[in-house]
Amino acid sequence: MHEVFDAVLGTNLLHANQHLADDNRAHFDKHGIYCVNIMSGPGAGKTSLLEKTLVALKVDWQVAVIEGDMTTQLDAERLRATGVPVVAINTGRACHLDAKMVHGGLHQLGNLDQLDCLIVENVGNLVCPAEFEVGEHCKVALLSITEGEDKPLKYPLMFHEANCIVVTKLDLAPYLDIDLAQLEANLQDVNPKAPVFWISSKTGVGVVDWLRWLTQRIEVSRLLAVVH
Amino acid sequence: MHEVFDAVLGTNLLHANQHLADDNRAHFDKHGIYCVNIMSGPGAGKTSLLEKTLVALKVDWQVAVIEGDMTTQLDAERLRATGVPVVAINTGRACHLDAKMVHGGLHQLGNLDQLDCLIVENVGNLVCPAEFEVGEHCKVALLSITEGEDKPLKYPLMFHEANCIVVTKLDLAPYLDIDLAQLEANLQDVNPKAPVFWISSKTGVGVVDWLRWLTQRIEVSRLLAVVH
């Protein structure tokens, strides 16, 4: 978050965003949609993990994606290749998706009654997206092991707020000087509650565990929608 | 940049920052200091490159660092181990350094007449720091090859504004699927003017070319200070 903005108007604008986020969540709940907000720094592998995730989810569920990028449709195109509907939102100079942008994306998606799960891929930024809820039921923070074991300590808000942490690019471990035990300890330090999945989208290792966690949550969300 | 902030107050606040940045630059020029603003996403290797850079620069020059991090002194400690003075600025929730923070850092550095070069290591963020000048004479954007060849297109402001681009972690190329020729073309597309250095801080490859470029600019800055 920009400091001056925070000092002058921050509380009110965050409050306004939270109000819209709550509206979005009520909308999701009404339609029985489980919403996931995927966040990370640039190039940590959000889109690569989503390519695998969408192919798996679409076997049993109706899934859609709202894809946030400052410019380009590059990631949206990659995800459309899975056959899942993708709404691309270009944020221009904005460094994160907010609740209003996601609300606009929902209108583009059309009939929400058919949808089981909405995945929001946020702008690649380890700082600002953590400040702005979009109405999600869970926040997933990705961290590539190429970024170093110190990152949970240096960007604590993102990892503290996450309901689930996915450590990516595990296939590169033999070629890096990273101390994975220290990374695990740092994650535990910042967020002792969130499950941590250690994966490589390239080799597939760990991806099933992530999918099992995610599908269980979608399933419970669907059951709750039926019961209520 | 946060969109609402941009729409409501952005111009004025950017203008205020620019005014302070101009003051900083006048201050640098008065003291014959060459100021470099180093920016990248999290974990692209700013601190690793600076560890090598400071050790080399301090042989001939008086160098200091202003180190921006949201929290922790981890990077500041790493750079202090080189023997160079480092002022650490914790930005809290702020996603970038601004001219006011750097001005505050200058006061902590003390006697500026002895200084030849000030290096500002910005917060790890490929979006927001590009918007806020701090008074620097040159902007250096780092990009790790682990982040993917599409990043210059997806984060165009950072790479467009850069006076120099350093592509890092070249030692990992054999283990990645990245298309380096496409990365080079994408950088050229966004910024045809800036020199691009391809380096690995781990093996040292390419670091001398970067140092040659940087030291030439510090040297010219010192000569200009003597002539005027």
Residue-wise pLDDT tens digits, A184-203 = 999 999 999 999 999 999 99
**Higher pLDDT among residues B217 and B12, named by residue:** B217
Of A1, A74, A172, the CB nearest to B2: A1
Which ipTM did the prediction report? Answer: 0.91
Please give the backbone phi and psi of residue A38, each rounded to the nearest 5 degrees, phi first: -100, 125
CA A116/CA A76 separation, integer angstroms: 20
| Across A71-75, average pLDDT | 95
The confidence score (pLDDT) of residue B9 equals: 55
> pLDDT band for position A3 (50/70/90)?
very low
| Across A88-101, average pLDDT | 95
Q: Nearest-CA distance from B175 to chain A in Å?
A: 7
The confidence score (pLDDT) of residue B3 equals: 41
| Contact predicate A162/A136, CB 8 Å | no
Nearest to B114 by CA among B222, B26, B227: B222
| Across B156-170, average pLDDT | 98
Would the pLDDT of A8 be above 60? no
Of A93, A123, A172, the CB nearest to B172: A172
> pLDDT band for position B47 (50/70/90)?
very high
Interchain CB contact of B137 with A (< 8 Å): no
**Chain B residues near residue A71 by CB distance under 8 angstroms:** 153-154, 156
DSSP A91-157: -TT-SS--HHHHHHHHHHH--GGG-SEEEEE--S-SSGGGG---S-SEEEEEEEGGG-TTHHHHSHH
The confidence score (pLDDT) of residue A6 equals: 47
Which pLDDT tens digit goes with each residue over B54-102? 999 999 999 999 999 999 999 999 999 999 999 999 999 899 999 999 9
| Across A41-63, average pLDDT | 97
| Contact predicate A171/A200, CB 8 Å | yes
| Across B119-130, average pLDDT | 96
Nearest residue in chain B measured CA to CA from A101: B3
Which pLDDT tens digit goes with each residue over A130-181? 999 999 999 999 999 999 999 999 999 999 999 999 999 999 999 999 999 9
Nearest residue in chain A measured CA to CA from B101: A3
> pLDDT band for position B106 (50/70/90)?
very high
- What's chain A's average pLDDT? 94
Percent of chain A's residues with pLDDT above 70: 95
Interchain CB contact of A56 with B (< 8 Å): no
Q: Nearest-CA distance from B223 to chain A in Å?
A: 37
Nearest residue in chain A measured CA to CA from B46: A147
- What's chain B's average pLDDT? 94
Q: Report chain A's terminal Cα–Cα distance, integer Å.
A: 38
Given an 8 Å threshold on Cβ–Cβ distance, is B92 in contact with A13?
A: no
From chain B residues 207-226, the ones with a CB under 8 A of any chain A CB are: none
| Across A69-79, average pLDDT | 96
What letters, b where the CB count within 10 A reaches 16 and e where it falls short, cover B139-178? bbbbbbbbbbbbbbbbbbbbbebbbbbbbbbbbbeeebeb
| Contact predicate A140/A45, CB 8 Å | no
